[in-house]
């Protein structure tokens, strides 16, 4: 199965994210927006894994997660990856990401022990859209810069979710495999 570890977006912030997506839609660029129910922060993309690896991951995360307390995440700023010459992903950022980054780096060390590749660099972000072409790129850059300092709101991170991702022609379908309370 294709899997990843994530933090789901708090439902109370979904409308605020939808407003940003609707504003970007006005550009009429080739963009695939992330569906509201699929909005999440990816802590670690695991790729194709076996059922036995899910068990190993579950044990490791349950052992490690006891070290952490719930924390606040402030979602703010709009940007894109990788650069203005080639925009692939439009995201919302995190203000004061220290607690989030700490848990991500700490867990990444444990993932390496289970045979996963270490993250080279990781920037906490919420992917809200994927750009599929260069049409109206300058207008897209302009609207993203216009919303550069947008504030979505605050949420409490009190659980991590191991998710399965099934790719379909209509887009990915995510299902929760296991929740881990902080």
- Residues carrying an active site annotation: 40, 125
DSSP assignment of the chain: -EEEEEEEPPGGGHHHHHHHHHHHHTT--SEEEPPGGG-EEEEEEEEE--HHHHHHHHHHHHHHHTT---EEEEEEEEEEEEETTEEEEEEEEEES-HHHHHHHHHHHHHHHHTTPPPPS----EEEEEEE---TTHHHHHHHHHHTTT-EEEEEEE-EEEEEEEE--TT--EEEEEEEEE-
């Amino acid at each position: 199965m294709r899997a990843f570890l994530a933090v789901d977006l708090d439902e109370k912030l979904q409308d605020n994210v939808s407003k940003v997506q609707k504003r970007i839609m006005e550009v009429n660029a080739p963009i695939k927006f992330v569906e509201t129910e699929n909005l999440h922060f990816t802590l670690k993309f695991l790729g194709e894994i076996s059922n036995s690896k899910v068990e190993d991951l579950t044990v490791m995360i349950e052992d490690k997660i006891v070290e952490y307390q719930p924390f606040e995440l402030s979602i703010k700023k709009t940007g894109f990856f990788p650069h203005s010459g080639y925009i692939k992903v439009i995201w919302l950022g995190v203000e004061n990401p220290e607690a989030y980054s700490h848990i991500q780096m700490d867990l990444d060390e444990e993932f390496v022990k289970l045979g996963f590749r270490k993250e080279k660099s990781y920037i906490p972000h919420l992917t809200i859209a994927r750009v599929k072409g260069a049409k109206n790129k300058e207008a897209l850059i302009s609207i993203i810069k216009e919303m550069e300092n947008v504030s979505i709101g605050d949420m409490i991170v009190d659980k991590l979710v191991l998710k399965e991702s099934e790719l379909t022609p209509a887009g990915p379908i995510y299902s929760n495999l296991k929740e881990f309370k902080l």
